[in-house]
């Protein structure tokens, strides 16, 4: 029996009707759903509830499952990716948010996606993950800080004070440039359509193995977005005349960093697998979300 994890925001109105329908479908296909007790509260049918594996927390939902359904916006998928980590568990994204660049389907088309999965007529998109640690700051332990992982991006930001910061950029140990501005976004191709795009960075197809560096409000016209190889190792030495700068990982986690800290970034040794079915491509999503071709 296949085991399917379900991650969703119980506060979304559509969840109240979608979850019982989804559980009924999974039961008919002899699949065992795993979900949190807060999600299970939307189930009025005791028989359906008994068929589920109900757990206390979302990290437990993705334990010992074959694949995961993430229902919400891109933030829900990013959270699910963090929960899945390097386990290679595939994720099907169901968009109930606004943009949903990473989501494969919608509630109205969910049955189509599920039928493709049952028939084995789907692909697994392999998405690169970035990792980083902070040397010399509060997160540092014995010279090596906690390792942070991001499917979308890692952002160095000036914090609450409206003063610029300086970031010395080194690639594979070689000095490249000093970026002066409000911060810097280091994104994966998956994250190229997120904060990086809003800051003037390029759209990069997810299949490319690359890192995109996009300055935030740079104080020099010569500071432009750069696309590096995913095999490069990046180091950023941060200088500022005020404390409490911010390092943000996928918009999910924020860490205070200090002037003088060095943030090192590299490609993670694992990838995230996103379920995609025929007829839904990256370019289809771009046309829909960015309204390309409309007059």
Report the catalytic residues. 74
Question: Judging by DSSP bridges, how do beta strands 210-216 and 226-229 pair with one another?
Answer: antiparallel
Secondary structure (3-state) at 85: helix
Residue 88 structure tokens: 């290679």
Phi-psi region for residue 243, left (φ > 0), alpha (ψ -120 to 50) or beta?
beta
Phi-psi region for residue 258, left (φ > 0), alpha (ψ -120 to 50) or beta?
beta
Burial class (CB in 10 A: 0-12, 13-18, 19+), 38: middle
CA distances from 139 to 18, 129, 135, 189, 269 (A): 41, 21, 7, 27, 22
Give the integer Cα–Cα distance in Å for 225 and 235: 16
Give the integer Cα–Cα distance in Å for 72 and 14: 10
β-strand partners of 101: none
Q: Give start and end residues of each alpha helix (H) in 183-271.
A: 195-198
> Do 1 and 52 touch, CB atoms closer than 8 A?
no
């Amino acid at each position: 029996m296949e085991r399917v994890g379900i991650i969703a925001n119980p506060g979304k109105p559509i969840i109240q009707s979608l979850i019982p329908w989804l559980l009924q479908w999974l039961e008919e296909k002899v699949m065992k759903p795993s979900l949190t007790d807060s999600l299970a509260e939307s189930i009025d049918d005791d028989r359906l509830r008994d068929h589920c594996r109900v757990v206390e927390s979302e990290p437990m939902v993705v334990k010992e499952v074959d694949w995961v359904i993430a229902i919400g916006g891109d933030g829900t998928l990013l959270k699910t990716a963090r929960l899945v980590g390097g386990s290679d568990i595939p994720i099907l994204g169901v968009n109930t948010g606004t943009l949903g660049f990473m989501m494969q389907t919608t509630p109205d088309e969910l049955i189509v996606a599920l039928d493709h999965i049952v028939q084995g007529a789907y692909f697994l998109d392999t998405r690169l993950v970035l990792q980083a640690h902070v040397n010399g700051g509060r997160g540092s332990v014995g010279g090596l800080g906690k390792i942070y992982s991001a499917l979308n991006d890692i952002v160095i930001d000036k914090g609450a004070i409206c003063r610029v910061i300086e970031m010395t950029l080194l690639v594979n140990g070689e000095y490249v440039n000093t970026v002066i501005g409000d911060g810097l976004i280091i994104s994966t191709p998956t994250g190229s359509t997120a904060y990086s795009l809003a800051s003037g960075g390029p759209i990069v197809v997810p299949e490319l193995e690359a890192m995109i560096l996009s300055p935030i409000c740079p104080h020099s016209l010569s500071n432009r977005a750069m696309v590096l190889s995913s095999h490069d190792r990046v180091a950023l030495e941060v200088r500022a005349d005020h404390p409490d700068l911010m390092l943000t990982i996928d918009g999910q986690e924020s860490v205070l960093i200090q002037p003088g800290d060095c943030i090192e970034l590299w490609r993670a040794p694992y990838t995230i697998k996103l379920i995609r079915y025929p007829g839904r491509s990256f370019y289809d999503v771009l046309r829909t979300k960015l309204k390309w071709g409309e007059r």
